[in-house]
């Protein structure tokens, strides 16, 4: 089977299906099959593993993943789950991702293996699901985290107060968790949010 990750095949698929890149979205197609194959090798060790591919594009990596695994699911999702606290893209999804997964850098990928060529190099990140945390009610925890990012310009006190529906109780929980009321959600780590949940879970009515 001819690799999709070549300039010739990529252009062929674009023309056939009217699929084109949007530079404003940072969209680029990888055109080096050896790089794609290495990524697939690093990602899959067991052919019976269920593999999720995020942002499949035209299927350059999907093709190699399917050769190594019996179960591959490809889907699109916002890439902000990679962000760290204090990054402009850090949000509730970033926190929830860390709650569920360990994140590991696999390899750097040169900008020269993409078409059109982007202005920056890329990086392959591996997510490994873990069971480090066992909160009593994870659904409530996730709702609390999302609430703390409802209005990014407001302090965590303002957002958290709306979630608890009581300003005095919200302030008391924040103090107990060791979080300054003037802090913003994007400044808080996963551990901060876990403490916030544990210190006030009796007040959360979700």
User: With contact defined as beta carbons under 8 Å apart, do 146 and 152 qualify?
Assistant: no
> Which of these, 64, 29, 60, lies nearest to 44 by C-alpha position?
64
Peptide bond before residue 20 is cis, with ω within 30 degrees of 0: no
Q: Is 1 labeled as ligand-binding? A: yes
Q: What count of Cα atoms within 13 Å lies in the side-chain half-sphere of residue 30?
A: 26
Q: Residues in the chain, how many?
A: 206
Beta strands, E only, the chain = 29-30, 50-54, 71-75, 101-109, 114-115, 122-129
Q: What count of Cα atoms within 13 Å lies in the side-chain half-sphere of residue 116?
A: 10
Known binding-site residue numbers for S-adenosyl-L-methionine: 1
Known binding-site residue numbers: 1
């Amino acid at each position: 089977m001819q690799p999709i990750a070549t300039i010739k095949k990529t252009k062929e698929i674009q023309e056939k299906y009217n699929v084109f890149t949007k530079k404003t979205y940072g969209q680029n197609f990888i055109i080096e099959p050896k790089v794609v194959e290495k990524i697939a090798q690093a990602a899959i060790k067991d052919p019976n593993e269920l593999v999720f591919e995020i942002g499949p594009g035209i299927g350059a990596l999907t093709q190699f993943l399917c050769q190594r695994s019996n179960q591959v699911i490809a889907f699109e999702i916002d890439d902000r789950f990679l962000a760290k606290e204090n990054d402009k893209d850090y949000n509730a999804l970033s926190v929830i991702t860390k709650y569920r997964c360990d994140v590991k850098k696999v390899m750097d990928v040169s900008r020269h293996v993409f078409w059109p060529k982007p202005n920056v190099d890329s990086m392959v990140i591996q997510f490994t699901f873990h069971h480090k945390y066992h909160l009593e009610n994870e659904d409530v925890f996730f709702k609390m985290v999302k609430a703390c990012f409802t209005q990014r310009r407001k302090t965590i006190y303002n957002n958290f107060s709306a979630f608890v529906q009581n300003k005095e109780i919200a302030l008391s929980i924040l103090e107990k968790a060791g979080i300054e009321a003037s802090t913003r959600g994007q400044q808080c780590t996963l551990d901060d949010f876990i403490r916030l949940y544990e210190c006030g879970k009796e007040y959360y009515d979700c």
